[in-house]
Chains A and B, each alone.
Chain A
Amino acid sequence: MLDALWLIPALCLAGACANLFLGTLRAPKAVVTVVGVGSVGAATAVAYAILWAYLQQPLAVVVKPYFTWISAGDITVNASLQLDPLSAVMTAFVTVVGLLIHVYSVGYMHSEGNAGFARYFAYLNLFMFAMLLLVLGSNLAVLFIGWEGVGLCSYLLIGYYYRQLWCAEAGMKAFVVNRIGDLGFLLAIFATLAAFGSLEFETVFPAAAADPASFGPEATVIALLLFVGAVGKSAQIPLYVWLPDAMAGPTPVSALIHAATMVTAGVYMVVRANVLFRLSPTAMLTVAVVGGVTALFAATIGLAQNDIKKVLAYSTVSQLGYMFLATGVGAWVAAIFHVVTHAFFKACLFLGSGSVIHACGGEQDMRRMGGLRKHMPTTYWTFLAAALSIAGIPIFAGFFSKDEILSRAYAAGASDLNGFGDAYRVLWTLALAAALLTAFYMFRVLFTTFHGSFRGPEEAAHHLHESPRSMTLPLVILGILSVVGGLVGLPGQLLHIEGLNLIDRFLQPVVIPLAEAGGHAADAAHAGHGLSLATEWGLVLGSVAAAVGGVLLARRFYLGAGAFVLPKLLAERLPLLHRVLLNRYWVDELYAWLIVRPVRALAGFCWRVVDELAIDTLLVNGAAFGVELAGDLARFTTTGNLRNYALMVLAAAVGIAALLW
């Protein structure tokens, strides 16, 4: 059974190829639906069958090599897939969420033409293939193939409406910014190969763990380079700018790629390489700082946006920051836990917003929405569930994962992890503040969109309707998952119950113990359990208070009779702050001035000077000119005088004789 591991990505790839072909035939949408959704459905079924078989055996790492891909001298890279607790968890939710979004897309993309519909599903299937390759790969090379593949599909899907220039540009922006991160990733691959001679996870990480002392400096380099890749793919500071623009793509794409799966690839990669990070306190701190700062930064931007999808985009950036903060404090399992819960509630939120946009006839500005609760109950309730989850209200899934991260961050500060205790304490406060803001802006969206009265144009008001079953069914499923999904990660330590945290137990083998010889305090995998019971409960209550506080504040600002009065007042009293947030700190403009302009100038230089002047004019035309000139000059040797010719012959003869001499 486990030998069929390759089927999981392969089925999706088959679907992609079939859909590409069907697109050229302009096949009817029903056929494309069967192929597109069916391939992912089959892949999901196969995946769960394999996982079931995997769980029957005692937990082990299963590596399935398929063929030798690169064999050059000492370097051998296999195309092989790996099944271990981490890839199992990733595969489990990627397939399910992917399938749900495929189903949703059938309804959402229904108004497209046949060719466009097939194209969409081809790209979406291709994305599933690449993502599954990414999480199932057993070495950095296969992971990188998947990494690049998801980047490609992201570009293709963001630019799905390519006939509009701004959509195509958004796609290009995503790809180029991703590329910058990919450079770091590539360098990390080279460094790993140089340091360890192999890219296989089962070779590199145990080797590093067994001998921490000798791999210290290399681990730092590799870890930081890997993180650069993660910063690009998972939209952290400074490479997050592509994610908000990526909202130009269809909403299901935003849900799948830019919320649930692709952007979490960076987190997955960091967790996968946790051994290397643990050998390098510097790298861990860097990750934590970037994650924590991004979490707060993006949350502040989300406060002032009026486009519903942009708010969700910045929310995604912020939540990703949380995940990286978790890895930076050594809470590897918590990071993955949050990846999973985030996939559920963020996908639900995005799909819900898609439903709303669909109902409003394409309108995305929340200022022209309102009162949709009456018209779209299913969407409303699922959106509410997901919003409660992301805000961190107890027993919803988000609460458990976010709370775990916060408590571990606090613990890192308290136990002075790696000697950076102060930094970690600051990060904890940043994260707590971000939690408050998250609850606030999320409920701002909820209240603005679903409560009150409809503020849009008249004709739109008549079209407000609930979405079709194909769209609401996934919403419901994801909504339920947003509620109960946290139960796999119950914090047993709060109740002095061992073994309650299922996901922690399941993923623990991924965090390979480091050999004692290194004596690194960096092995913070278990640092979190050093807090007292009282502190733990205190933290829980604190984060709940922050969440509830955010919700109440939003209620005060945006609900009921006094809705929008206070926000407007605040915007008038603090115009600068409001402008800064609304304009997203002008980061895009800064990049445009700082980076894009010089690059454009360089490109212009290469074009006008190097290509046109140097190559075309000087070398090519110049060569021709030179030849012509030489010919014109050489003409003068044909004097017509016989004796001159004789002289030339004689001179040549003397020359040759001299050479032979």
Chain B
Amino acid sequence: MAAWVFLAAAAVAIVFACLAVVVRNPVLNVLSLVIVFFAMAAIQVIVYSGAILVLFLFVVMLLNLPRRRRLGKGRPLQAVAGILLAAVLGGMVLAAAAILPAELGAVLPGAAAGGTATPIGRALITSHLFVFEFITLLLAAAIVGAVYLGEREMR
């Protein structure tokens, strides 16, 4: 049964990812991405959808972009090359996935005992503390940078 769930979620993710990429209306793009994240995981929803994609929406609204551009217009050669390469790259990873022995994964031991969140949180604070703090700094730097960049007077 888990397999079906997975396949359904996967299908949704793929479809809406395509939509997110292809559709020319920026708002629709963002919203499609929200659905993708829903299809992928909960945390994605909270952080990604809740925070980041909201930010995206905000900027999109702010900039009031037109919708008319055609996909890949003006540089056909680049478009072709890009498609080819993307296909190759994806194909390679797919092939790798196919070659690997299809081991069955195991459910985390802590899952039965109160979810996977606790062990992860514990690991974050103990063995990966340094990176955790570093990420904190990174976020702070990003905020400062964004504030500075946006500081100039809005017309």
Contact = CB atoms under 8 A, between A and B. Distances in A.
A346 to B, nearest CB: 92
B85 A657 contact: no
B92 A657 contact: yes
Nearest to B92: A657
B120 interface: no
A534 interface: no
Interface in B19-67: none
A654 B89 contact: yes
A647 B89 contact: no
Contacts of A646: 82
B78 A657 contact: no
A653 B82 CA distance: 12
B70 interface: no
Nearest to A661: B92
A657 B89 CA distance: 8
A650 B92 contact: no
Nearest to A652: B85
A658 interface: yes
Contacts, number: 27
Given A658-B92, A661-B92, A650 B78 contact: no
B146 interface: no
B interface secondary structure, majority: helix
Contacts of A658: 92
B78 A643 contact: yes
Interface string A630-658: 00000000000101101100110110011
A644 B89 CA distance: 17
Contacts of B86: 650
Contacts of A643: 75, 78, 82
A514 B75 CA distance: 97
B79 to A, nearest CB: 9
Nearest to A643: B78
Contact of A653 (B75, B81, B89, B96): B89
Given A657-B92, A661-B92, A651 B78 contact: no
Given A643-B75, A651-B85, A657-B93, 5 more contacts: A647-B85, A653-B89, A654-B85, A654-B92, A661-B92
Contacts of A650: 82, 85-86, 89
A643 B78 CA distance: 8
Interface in A526-568: none
Interface in B84-114: 85-86, 88-89, 92-93, 96
Contacts of A653: 89
B20 to A, nearest CB: 18
Which 6 residue pairs of A and B lie closest in terms of their CB atoms, listed nearest first? A650-B85, A654-B89, A657-B92, A654-B85, A654-B88, A647-B78
Nearest to B87: A654
B84 to A, nearest CB: 9
Interface residues of A, number: 12
A264 to B, nearest CB: 85
- Which range holds the interface residue count of chain B? 10 to 19
Contact of B82 (A641, A647, A657): A647
Contacts of A647: 78, 81-82, 85
A644 B79 CA distance: 10
A637 to B, nearest CB: 14
B81 to A, nearest CB: 6
Contacts of B89: 650, 653-654, 657
9 contacts: A641-B75, A643-B78, A647-B78, A647-B82, A653-B89, A654-B85, A657-B89, A657-B92, A657-B93
A658 B93 CA distance: 10
Interface in A444-498: none
A654 B90 CA distance: 9
A383 B140 CA distance: 110
Contacts of B85: 647, 650-651, 654
A661 B86 CA distance: 16
Nearest to B88: A654
A646 B89 CA distance: 14
A646 B75 CA distance: 13
Given A650-B85, A650-B86, A651-B85, A644 B92 contact: no
Nearest to A651: B85
Nearest to B72: A643
Interface in A414-439: none
A659 to B, nearest CB: 11
A651 B80 CA distance: 13
Contacts of A657: 89, 92-93
Nearest to A653: B89
A162 to B, nearest CB: 75
Contacts of B93: 657
A661 B82 CA distance: 21
A650 B78 CA distance: 12
A82 B60 CA distance: 103
A301 B110 CA distance: 114
Nearest to B75: A643
Contacts of B82: 643, 646-647, 650
A661 to B, nearest CB: 7
A161 B28 CA distance: 101
A641 B82 CA distance: 14
B1 to A, nearest CB: 35
Nearest to A650: B85
Interface in A119-139: none
A650 B92 CA distance: 13
Nearest to A644: B78
A658 B96 CA distance: 11
Contacts of A641: 75
B75 to A, nearest CB: 7
Contacts of A654: 85, 88-89, 92
A199 to B, nearest CB: 69
A643 B86 CA distance: 14
A658 B88 CA distance: 10
A646 B93 CA distance: 19
Contacts of B92: 654, 657-658, 661
Contacts of A644: 78
B90 to A, nearest CB: 10
A647 B82 CA distance: 6
B80 to A, nearest CB: 10
